[in-house]
Protein backbone atom coordinates (compact mmCIF):
# COMPACT_ATOMS: atom_id res chain seq x y z
CA UNK A 1 0.00 0.00 0.00
CA UNK A 2 1.27 3.45 -0.85
CA UNK A 3 -0.92 6.49 -0.35
CA UNK A 4 1.28 9.54 -0.97
CA UNK A 5 -1.18 11.77 0.83
CA UNK A 6 -4.25 13.82 0.20
CA UNK A 7 -4.68 15.34 -3.25
CA UNK A 8 -5.73 18.61 -1.61
CA UNK A 9 -3.15 21.39 -1.99
CA UNK A 10 -0.78 22.10 0.87
CA UNK A 11 -1.76 24.98 3.16
CA UNK A 12 -0.07 28.36 2.81
CA UNK A 13 1.25 28.76 6.33
CA UNK A 14 2.16 32.02 8.03
CA UNK A 15 3.17 32.50 11.64
CA UNK A 16 4.18 34.98 14.29
CA UNK A 17 6.31 34.23 17.34
CA UNK A 18 6.81 36.37 20.42
CA UNK A 19 8.02 36.05 23.99
CA UNK A 20 5.20 35.47 26.45
CA UNK A 21 4.63 33.86 29.83
CA UNK A 22 3.02 30.45 29.84
CA UNK A 23 -0.78 30.81 29.56
CA UNK A 24 -2.40 31.07 32.97
CA UNK A 25 0.31 33.41 34.20
CA UNK A 26 0.41 31.92 37.69
CA UNK A 27 3.66 31.14 39.46
CA UNK A 28 4.55 27.52 38.89
CA UNK A 29 2.64 27.29 35.60
CA UNK A 30 3.97 24.52 33.40
CA UNK A 31 3.63 23.30 29.84
CA UNK A 32 1.91 20.17 31.11
CA UNK A 33 -0.91 22.35 32.48
CA UNK A 34 -1.92 23.00 28.87
CA UNK A 35 -2.73 19.32 28.39
CA UNK A 36 -6.43 19.54 29.10
CA UNK A 37 -8.46 17.72 26.42
CA UNK A 38 -6.24 14.93 25.11
CA UNK A 39 -6.22 16.43 21.61
CA UNK A 40 -3.11 18.55 22.18
CA UNK A 41 0.27 17.69 20.68
CA UNK A 42 3.19 17.57 23.09
CA UNK A 43 6.96 17.17 23.31
CA UNK A 44 8.19 17.70 26.88
CA UNK A 45 11.37 16.80 28.78
CA UNK A 46 12.44 18.16 32.17
CA UNK A 47 9.41 20.45 31.99
CA UNK A 48 10.62 22.16 28.80
CA UNK A 49 9.58 21.69 25.20
CA UNK A 50 6.39 22.48 23.32
CA UNK A 51 2.63 21.93 23.43
CA UNK A 52 0.42 22.38 20.36
CA UNK A 53 -3.14 23.66 20.77
CA UNK A 54 -5.79 23.67 18.05
CA UNK A 55 -5.27 22.62 14.42
CA UNK A 56 -4.14 24.80 11.54
CA UNK A 57 -3.48 21.92 9.11
CA UNK A 58 -3.07 18.15 8.97
CA UNK A 59 -1.41 15.80 6.49
CA UNK A 60 -1.72 12.00 6.40
CA UNK A 61 0.03 9.42 4.26
CA UNK A 62 0.93 5.72 4.17
CA UNK A 63 3.39 3.40 2.47
CA UNK A 64 7.10 3.31 1.61
CA UNK A 65 7.00 6.90 0.36
CA UNK A 66 5.50 8.33 3.54
CA UNK A 67 8.60 10.30 4.57
CA UNK A 68 9.12 11.79 1.12
CA UNK A 69 5.43 12.66 0.81
CA UNK A 70 5.47 14.36 4.20
CA UNK A 71 8.65 16.26 3.35
CA UNK A 72 7.23 17.54 0.05
CA UNK A 73 3.98 18.61 1.70
CA UNK A 74 5.87 20.42 4.46
CA UNK A 75 8.15 22.20 1.99
CA UNK A 76 5.11 23.39 0.05
CA UNK A 77 3.28 24.43 3.22
CA UNK A 78 6.19 26.53 4.48
CA UNK A 79 7.28 27.95 1.12
CA UNK A 80 5.24 31.12 1.48
CA UNK A 81 6.61 31.87 4.95
CA UNK A 82 10.17 31.21 3.79
CA UNK A 83 9.80 33.58 0.84
CA UNK A 84 8.30 36.36 2.95
CA UNK A 85 11.09 36.18 5.55
CA UNK A 86 14.00 35.68 3.13
CA UNK A 87 15.14 39.27 3.52
CA UNK A 88 15.32 38.84 7.29
CA UNK A 89 17.38 35.65 7.10
CA UNK A 90 20.59 35.40 9.08
CA UNK A 91 23.84 36.35 7.35
CA UNK A 92 25.94 33.58 5.89
CA UNK A 93 27.87 31.73 8.58
CA UNK A 94 25.33 32.37 11.35
CA UNK A 95 23.95 29.05 12.69
CA UNK A 96 20.22 28.54 12.07
CA UNK A 97 19.34 26.99 15.41
CA UNK A 98 15.95 26.34 16.95
CA UNK A 99 16.53 28.62 19.95
CA UNK A 100 19.10 31.36 19.24
CA UNK A 101 20.80 33.63 21.76
CA UNK A 102 17.73 35.82 22.28
CA UNK A 103 15.81 32.80 23.57
CA UNK A 104 13.17 32.73 20.83
CA UNK A 105 12.80 30.25 17.97
CA UNK A 106 13.29 31.38 14.40
CA UNK A 107 10.15 32.76 12.77
CA UNK A 108 9.08 29.56 11.11
CA UNK A 109 6.04 27.25 11.19
CA UNK A 110 6.31 24.07 13.22
CA UNK A 111 4.60 20.67 12.97
CA UNK A 112 4.37 17.62 15.19
CA UNK A 113 4.75 14.29 13.42
CA UNK A 114 4.39 10.54 13.91
CA UNK A 115 5.34 7.91 11.33
CA UNK A 116 4.36 4.26 11.04
CA UNK A 117 7.10 1.75 11.79
CA UNK A 118 6.69 -0.36 8.65
CA UNK A 119 6.36 0.46 4.97
CA UNK A 120 3.47 -2.00 4.70
CA UNK A 121 1.41 -0.62 7.57
CA UNK A 122 -2.04 0.73 6.68
CA UNK A 123 -1.87 3.04 9.71
CA UNK A 124 -1.56 6.69 8.69
CA UNK A 125 1.61 8.66 9.31
CA UNK A 126 0.66 12.23 10.20
CA UNK A 127 1.94 15.78 10.32
CA UNK A 128 -0.09 17.95 12.68
CA UNK A 129 0.28 21.73 12.43
CA UNK A 130 -1.19 23.23 15.62
CA UNK A 131 -2.80 26.63 15.50
CA UNK A 132 -0.72 27.58 18.54
CA UNK A 133 2.62 26.29 19.77
CA UNK A 134 3.48 27.17 23.35
CA UNK A 135 7.18 26.68 24.00
CA UNK A 136 9.58 26.82 26.91
CA UNK A 137 13.35 26.42 26.90
CA UNK A 138 16.39 27.83 28.69
CA UNK A 139 14.19 29.74 31.13
CA UNK A 140 12.27 31.50 28.35
CA UNK A 141 8.75 30.90 27.06
CA UNK A 142 7.07 31.93 23.83
CA UNK A 143 3.96 31.64 21.70
CA UNK A 144 3.71 30.93 17.99
CA UNK A 145 0.42 31.48 16.13
CA UNK A 146 0.17 29.53 12.86
CA UNK A 147 -2.54 30.03 10.26
CA UNK A 148 -3.34 28.77 6.78
CA UNK A 149 -3.70 31.91 4.69
CA UNK A 150 -5.92 30.02 2.27
CA UNK A 151 -8.37 28.87 4.96
CA UNK A 152 -11.90 30.35 4.68
CA UNK A 153 -11.46 32.58 7.71
CA UNK A 154 -8.27 34.18 6.42
CA UNK A 155 -8.10 34.02 2.62
CA UNK A 156 -9.76 37.38 1.89
CA UNK A 157 -7.83 39.18 4.61
CA UNK A 158 -4.57 37.59 3.47
CA UNK A 159 -5.19 38.77 -0.10
CA UNK A 160 -5.38 42.30 1.30
CA UNK A 161 -2.02 41.88 3.00
CA UNK A 162 -3.06 40.64 6.46
CA UNK A 163 -0.64 38.47 8.40
CA UNK A 164 -0.90 37.00 11.92
CA UNK A 165 0.05 39.38 14.73
CA UNK A 166 0.38 39.36 18.50
CA UNK A 167 -2.78 41.19 19.56
CA UNK A 168 -5.08 38.97 17.53
CA UNK A 169 -3.09 35.89 18.53
CA UNK A 170 -3.72 36.51 22.22
CA UNK A 171 -7.45 36.94 21.67
CA UNK A 172 -7.65 33.77 19.59
CA UNK A 173 -5.61 31.71 22.09
CA UNK A 174 -7.78 32.87 24.98
CA UNK A 175 -10.83 31.61 23.10
CA UNK A 176 -9.25 28.24 22.33
CA UNK A 177 -8.18 27.72 25.94
CA UNK A 178 -11.67 28.60 27.17
CA UNK A 179 -13.15 26.02 24.80
CA UNK A 180 -10.60 23.45 25.98
CA UNK A 181 -11.42 24.10 29.64
CA UNK A 182 -15.09 23.50 28.91
CA UNK A 183 -14.26 20.14 27.31
CA UNK A 184 -11.79 19.06 29.99
CA UNK A 185 -12.51 15.59 31.46
CA UNK A 186 -14.24 15.77 34.82
CA UNK A 187 -12.06 15.61 37.91
CA UNK A 188 -14.15 12.88 39.46
CA UNK A 189 -13.03 10.04 37.23
CA UNK A 190 -10.84 8.91 34.41
CA UNK A 191 -8.22 6.22 34.02
CA UNK A 192 -5.00 7.36 35.64
CA UNK A 193 -6.70 8.26 38.93
CA UNK A 194 -7.44 4.82 40.25
CA UNK A 195 -10.60 4.86 38.18
CA UNK A 196 -13.10 2.06 38.40
CA UNK A 197 -13.26 -0.79 35.93
CA UNK A 198 -9.66 -0.83 34.69
CA UNK A 199 -8.85 -4.11 32.97
CA UNK A 200 -5.59 -5.28 31.37
CA UNK A 201 -5.64 -8.08 28.80
CA UNK A 202 -3.45 -9.59 26.10
CA UNK A 203 -3.55 -7.92 22.73
CA UNK A 204 -3.36 -9.42 19.26
CA UNK A 205 -0.04 -11.10 20.07
CA UNK A 206 -0.59 -12.96 23.35
CA UNK A 207 2.10 -13.62 25.93
CA UNK A 208 2.19 -17.28 24.90
CA UNK A 209 2.46 -16.24 21.26
CA UNK A 210 5.27 -13.85 22.12
CA UNK A 211 7.33 -16.57 23.77
CA UNK A 212 6.85 -18.72 20.68
CA UNK A 213 7.86 -15.85 18.39
CA UNK A 214 11.03 -15.24 20.41
CA UNK A 215 11.89 -18.93 20.22
CA UNK A 216 11.48 -18.93 16.44
CA UNK A 217 13.54 -15.74 16.19
CA UNK A 218 16.40 -17.25 18.20
CA UNK A 219 16.42 -20.28 15.92
CA UNK A 220 16.68 -18.03 12.87
CA UNK A 221 19.61 -16.20 14.46
CA UNK A 222 21.33 -19.46 15.33
CA UNK A 223 20.87 -20.57 11.71
CA UNK A 224 22.77 -17.46 10.56
CA UNK A 225 19.83 -15.66 8.93
CA UNK A 226 20.51 -12.52 10.99
CA UNK A 227 22.37 -11.26 14.07
CA UNK A 228 19.68 -9.40 16.01
CA UNK A 229 15.89 -9.16 15.87
CA UNK A 230 13.48 -6.91 17.77
CA UNK A 231 10.10 -8.47 18.50
CA UNK A 232 7.11 -6.61 19.94
CA UNK A 233 3.77 -7.48 21.50
CA UNK A 234 0.70 -5.50 22.49
CA UNK A 235 -1.67 -5.36 25.46
CA UNK A 236 -5.03 -3.65 25.90
CA UNK A 237 -6.31 -1.54 28.81
CA UNK A 238 -10.05 -1.00 28.97
CA UNK A 239 -11.69 1.40 31.39
CA UNK A 240 -15.29 1.80 32.48
CA UNK A 241 -14.57 5.51 32.87
CA UNK A 242 -13.22 7.59 29.97
CA UNK A 243 -9.44 7.52 29.85
CA UNK A 244 -8.09 10.82 31.17
CA UNK A 245 -5.36 11.26 28.55
CA UNK A 246 -4.19 14.66 29.84
CA UNK A 247 -3.69 13.23 33.33
CA UNK A 248 -1.77 10.27 31.90
CA UNK A 249 0.55 12.62 30.02
CA UNK A 250 1.05 14.92 33.00
CA UNK A 251 1.94 11.89 35.13
CA UNK A 252 4.54 10.79 32.59
CA UNK A 253 6.14 14.26 32.51
CA UNK A 254 6.66 14.01 36.28
CA UNK A 255 7.61 10.35 36.71
CA UNK A 256 9.79 10.13 33.57
CA UNK A 257 11.35 13.59 33.43
CA UNK A 258 14.51 12.31 31.72
CA UNK A 259 12.41 10.95 28.83
CA UNK A 260 10.64 12.80 26.03
CA UNK A 261 6.90 12.76 26.70
CA UNK A 262 5.03 12.88 23.41
CA UNK A 263 1.48 13.17 22.12
CA UNK A 264 0.56 13.25 18.43
CA UNK A 265 -2.85 12.30 17.11
CA UNK A 266 -3.69 9.70 19.78
CA UNK A 267 -0.15 8.32 20.06
CA UNK A 268 1.08 8.97 23.61
CA UNK A 269 4.05 7.93 25.72
CA UNK A 270 7.41 8.86 27.15
CA UNK A 271 10.41 7.67 25.16
CA UNK A 272 13.97 7.43 26.48
CA UNK A 273 15.45 7.11 22.97
CA UNK A 274 16.28 9.97 20.59
CA UNK A 275 16.57 8.87 16.97
CA UNK A 276 17.89 12.24 15.83
CA UNK A 277 17.83 15.87 16.94
CA UNK A 278 18.91 18.52 14.46
CA UNK A 279 19.68 22.01 15.76
CA UNK A 280 21.41 24.11 13.14
CA UNK A 281 24.57 22.26 12.09
CA UNK A 282 24.51 19.81 14.99
CA UNK A 283 22.84 16.41 15.05
CA UNK A 284 22.45 14.35 18.22
CA UNK A 285 21.08 10.92 19.01
CA UNK A 286 20.66 8.73 22.08
CA UNK A 287 20.93 5.00 21.35
CA UNK A 288 19.54 2.49 23.85
CA UNK A 289 19.93 -1.28 23.73
CA UNK A 290 20.48 -3.60 26.67
CA UNK A 291 17.84 -3.50 29.42
CA UNK A 292 17.64 -4.52 33.09
CA UNK A 293 14.40 -4.41 35.11
CA UNK A 294 14.58 -2.39 38.33
CA UNK A 295 11.62 -4.16 39.93
CA UNK A 296 13.02 -5.91 43.03
CA UNK A 297 16.57 -4.74 42.32
CA UNK A 298 18.80 -3.05 44.94
CA UNK A 299 18.40 0.69 45.47
CA UNK A 300 20.95 3.50 45.66
CA UNK A 301 24.65 2.86 45.09
CA UNK A 302 24.13 -0.89 45.40
CA UNK A 303 21.61 -0.71 42.57
CA UNK A 304 24.01 1.26 40.39
CA UNK A 305 26.74 -1.32 40.93
CA UNK A 306 24.22 -4.08 40.24
CA UNK A 307 23.20 -2.49 36.93
CA UNK A 308 26.77 -1.96 35.82
CA UNK A 309 27.65 -5.55 36.58
CA UNK A 310 24.65 -7.05 34.76
CA UNK A 311 24.69 -4.64 31.82
CA UNK A 312 28.18 -3.28 31.22
CA UNK A 313 29.90 -6.58 32.02
CA UNK A 314 27.41 -8.81 30.18
CA UNK A 315 28.62 -9.88 26.69
CA UNK A 316 25.02 -10.37 25.44
CA UNK A 317 23.96 -6.87 26.49
CA UNK A 318 27.14 -5.26 25.13
CA UNK A 319 26.77 -7.09 21.81
CA UNK A 320 23.13 -6.03 21.42
CA UNK A 321 24.05 -2.43 22.25
CA UNK A 322 26.98 -2.24 19.82
CA UNK A 323 24.77 -3.46 16.97
CA UNK A 324 22.30 -0.64 17.68
CA UNK A 325 25.01 2.04 17.82
CA UNK A 326 26.69 0.83 14.63
CA UNK A 327 23.41 0.73 12.73
CA UNK A 328 22.83 4.43 13.48
CA UNK A 329 26.37 5.75 12.99
CA UNK A 330 26.93 3.89 9.71
CA UNK A 331 23.87 5.52 8.19
CA UNK A 332 24.44 8.96 9.72
CA UNK A 333 28.15 9.31 8.90
CA UNK A 334 27.82 10.08 5.15
CA UNK A 335 25.91 13.25 6.04
CA UNK A 336 28.46 14.57 8.54
CA UNK A 337 31.83 16.30 8.63
CA UNK A 338 32.55 14.87 12.09
CA UNK A 339 30.92 12.25 14.28
CA UNK A 340 31.53 11.20 17.89
CA UNK A 341 30.17 7.95 19.32
CA UNK A 342 32.00 6.83 22.49
CA UNK A 343 33.17 3.23 22.57
CA UNK A 344 32.01 2.79 26.17
CA UNK A 345 28.25 3.09 26.84
CA UNK A 346 26.88 4.50 30.06
CA UNK A 347 24.09 3.14 32.25
CA UNK A 348 20.90 5.22 31.98
CA UNK A 349 18.77 4.95 35.10
CA UNK A 350 15.01 5.28 34.65
CA UNK A 351 12.30 4.61 37.25
CA UNK A 352 11.38 1.26 35.69
CA UNK A 353 14.59 -0.04 34.08
CA UNK A 354 18.29 0.53 33.48
CA UNK A 355 19.55 0.78 29.90
CA UNK A 356 22.93 0.74 28.25
CA UNK A 357 23.07 4.09 26.44
CA UNK A 358 25.34 5.93 24.03
CA UNK A 359 24.98 9.60 23.10
CA UNK A 360 26.08 10.39 19.54
CA UNK A 361 27.00 13.89 18.33
CA UNK A 362 27.70 14.91 14.73
CA UNK A 363 28.38 18.00 12.62
CA UNK A 364 26.16 18.03 9.52
CA UNK A 365 27.18 18.91 5.98
CA UNK A 366 25.35 21.74 4.25
CA UNK A 367 23.96 23.30 7.42
CA UNK A 368 25.85 26.59 7.53
CA UNK A 369 24.43 29.99 6.72
CA UNK A 370 20.93 31.13 5.93
CA UNK A 371 19.97 28.28 3.61
CA UNK A 372 20.34 24.60 4.52
CA UNK A 373 21.68 22.58 1.59
CA UNK A 374 22.18 19.31 3.45
CA UNK A 375 19.54 17.04 5.01
CA UNK A 376 17.32 18.33 7.80
CA UNK A 377 15.66 16.45 10.64
CA UNK A 378 12.95 14.76 8.56
CA UNK A 379 15.34 13.65 5.80
CA UNK A 380 17.75 12.18 8.36
CA UNK A 381 14.86 10.44 10.09
CA UNK A 382 14.05 8.61 6.87
CA UNK A 383 17.71 7.64 6.43
CA UNK A 384 18.09 6.30 9.98
CA UNK A 385 14.75 4.52 10.49
CA UNK A 386 14.52 1.73 11.45
CA UNK A 387 17.69 1.25 13.50
CA UNK A 388 18.77 -2.02 15.06
CA UNK A 389 17.29 -0.77 18.34
CA UNK A 390 13.75 -1.32 17.02
CA UNK A 391 14.27 -3.62 14.02
CA UNK A 392 17.44 -5.71 13.99
CA UNK A 393 20.60 -6.52 12.02
CA UNK A 394 20.82 -6.79 9.05
CA UNK A 395 17.94 -4.36 8.71
CA UNK A 396 16.26 -5.86 5.65
CA UNK A 397 16.39 -9.44 6.96
CA UNK A 398 15.12 -8.34 10.38
CA UNK A 399 12.25 -6.32 8.91
CA UNK A 400 11.17 -9.29 6.80
CA UNK A 401 11.25 -11.65 9.79
CA UNK A 402 9.31 -9.18 11.96
CA UNK A 403 6.63 -9.18 9.29
CA UNK A 404 6.44 -12.97 9.42
CA UNK A 405 6.61 -13.50 13.19
CA UNK A 406 4.47 -10.55 14.31
CA UNK A 407 2.08 -9.80 11.48
CA UNK A 408 2.06 -13.01 9.46
CA UNK A 409 1.75 -15.44 12.38
CA UNK A 410 -0.31 -13.32 14.77
CA UNK A 411 -1.82 -10.39 12.87
CA UNK A 412 0.06 -7.73 14.85
CA UNK A 413 0.67 -4.45 13.02
CA UNK A 414 2.95 -2.19 15.04
CA UNK A 415 1.32 0.87 13.49
CA UNK A 416 3.00 3.95 14.98
CA UNK A 417 4.78 1.98 17.72
CA UNK A 418 8.60 2.15 17.36
CA UNK A 419 8.24 4.63 14.50
CA UNK A 420 9.66 8.16 14.60
CA UNK A 421 7.71 10.71 16.63
CA UNK A 422 8.56 14.35 17.30
CA UNK A 423 8.52 17.74 15.62
CA UNK A 424 10.08 19.71 12.77
CA UNK A 425 10.26 23.33 11.71
CA UNK A 426 10.64 25.08 8.38
CA UNK A 427 14.40 25.49 8.80
CA UNK A 428 15.23 21.78 8.85
CA UNK A 429 15.52 21.62 12.63
CA UNK A 430 13.61 19.08 14.66
CA UNK A 431 13.63 16.20 17.12
CA UNK A 432 12.48 12.67 16.40
CA UNK A 433 12.43 10.06 19.11
CA UNK A 434 11.32 6.47 18.77
CA UNK A 435 7.71 5.90 19.82
CA UNK A 436 8.52 3.60 22.74
CA UNK A 437 7.06 3.23 26.27
CA UNK A 438 3.79 4.32 24.79
CA UNK A 439 0.31 3.51 23.62
CA UNK A 440 -2.37 4.39 21.12
CA UNK A 441 -5.68 5.76 22.39
CA UNK A 442 -8.15 3.75 20.30
CA UNK A 443 -11.29 5.29 21.81
CA UNK A 444 -12.21 7.04 25.04
CA UNK A 445 -12.31 3.74 26.94
CA UNK A 446 -9.53 1.75 25.22
CA UNK A 447 -5.76 2.13 25.12
CA UNK A 448 -3.42 -0.28 23.33
CA UNK A 449 0.10 -0.58 24.78
CA UNK A 450 3.18 -1.91 22.98
CA UNK A 451 6.62 -3.10 24.03
CA UNK A 452 9.48 -4.88 22.27
CA UNK A 453 12.81 -6.51 23.06
CA UNK A 454 16.07 -7.11 21.24
CA UNK A 455 16.59 -10.79 20.48
CA UNK A 456 20.06 -12.29 19.99
CA UNK A 457 21.35 -15.85 20.01
CA UNK A 458 21.57 -15.91 23.82
CA UNK A 459 18.00 -14.68 24.37
CA UNK A 460 15.57 -16.61 26.54
CA UNK A 461 11.83 -16.34 25.69
CA UNK A 462 10.70 -16.09 29.32
CA UNK A 463 13.24 -13.37 30.11
CA UNK A 464 12.28 -11.39 27.03
CA UNK A 465 8.59 -11.59 27.95
CA UNK A 466 9.44 -10.30 31.43
CA UNK A 467 11.29 -7.40 29.83
CA UNK A 468 8.18 -6.40 27.88
CA UNK A 469 6.28 -6.21 31.19
CA UNK A 470 8.96 -3.86 32.55
CA UNK A 471 8.75 -1.67 29.46
CA UNK A 472 4.96 -1.40 29.70
CA UNK A 473 5.19 -0.36 33.34
CA UNK A 474 5.41 3.43 32.71
CA UNK A 475 2.11 3.48 30.82
CA UNK A 476 0.44 1.09 33.25
CA UNK A 477 1.51 3.30 36.17
CA UNK A 478 0.23 6.44 34.45
CA UNK A 479 -3.07 4.72 33.71
CA UNK A 480 -3.43 3.66 37.35
CA UNK A 481 -2.85 -0.09 36.97
CA UNK A 482 0.53 -0.22 38.71
CA UNK A 483 1.91 1.53 41.80
Which residues are tagged catalytic?
Answer: 228, 273
Cα(47)–Cα(27) distance, rounded to whole angstroms? 14
Cα(135)–Cα(251) distance, rounded to whole angstroms? 19
Residue 7: φ, ψ to 5°: -75, -10
Cα(404)–Cα(220) distance, rounded to whole angstroms? 12
Cα(285)–Cα(380) distance, rounded to whole angstroms? 11
Is residue 234 reached through a cis peptide bond, with omega within 30 degrees of 0 on the bond before it? no
Task: Give strand pairing partners of 434.
Answer: 420
**Separation in Å, CA 422 to CA 99, 131, 193, 242, 249:** 17, 17, 27, 26, 15
Cα(32)–Cα(140) distance, rounded to whole angstroms? 16
Per DSSP (E only), the strands in 203-273 are 228-238, 260-264, 267-271
Q: Indicate the helix (H) or strand (E) that contains 205.
A: none
Residue 139 CB neighbours (<10 A)? 7
Question: 478: which residues sit within 8 A by CB, 6+ positions away?
Answer: 192, 247, 248, 249, 251, 252, 255
Cα(339)–Cα(93) distance, rounded to whole angstroms? 21
Residue 482 CB neighbours (<10 A)? 15
Cα(428)–Cα(278) distance, rounded to whole angstroms? 7
Amino acid sequence: MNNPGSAAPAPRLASCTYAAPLPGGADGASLADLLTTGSECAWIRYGEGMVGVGTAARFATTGPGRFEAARRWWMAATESEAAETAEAAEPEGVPRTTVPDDGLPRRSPLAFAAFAFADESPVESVLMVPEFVVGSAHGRSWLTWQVDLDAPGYVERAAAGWRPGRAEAEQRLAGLLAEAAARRPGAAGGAGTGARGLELSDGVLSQEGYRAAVDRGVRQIEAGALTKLVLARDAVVRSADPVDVPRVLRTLTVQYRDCWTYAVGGLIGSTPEMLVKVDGATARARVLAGTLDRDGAPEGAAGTDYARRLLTDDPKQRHEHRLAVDSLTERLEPFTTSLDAPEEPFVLELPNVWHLATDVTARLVGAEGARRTGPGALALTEVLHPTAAVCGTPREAAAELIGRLESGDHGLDRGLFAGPVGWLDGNGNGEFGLALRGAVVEDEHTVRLYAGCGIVAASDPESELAETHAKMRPMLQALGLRD
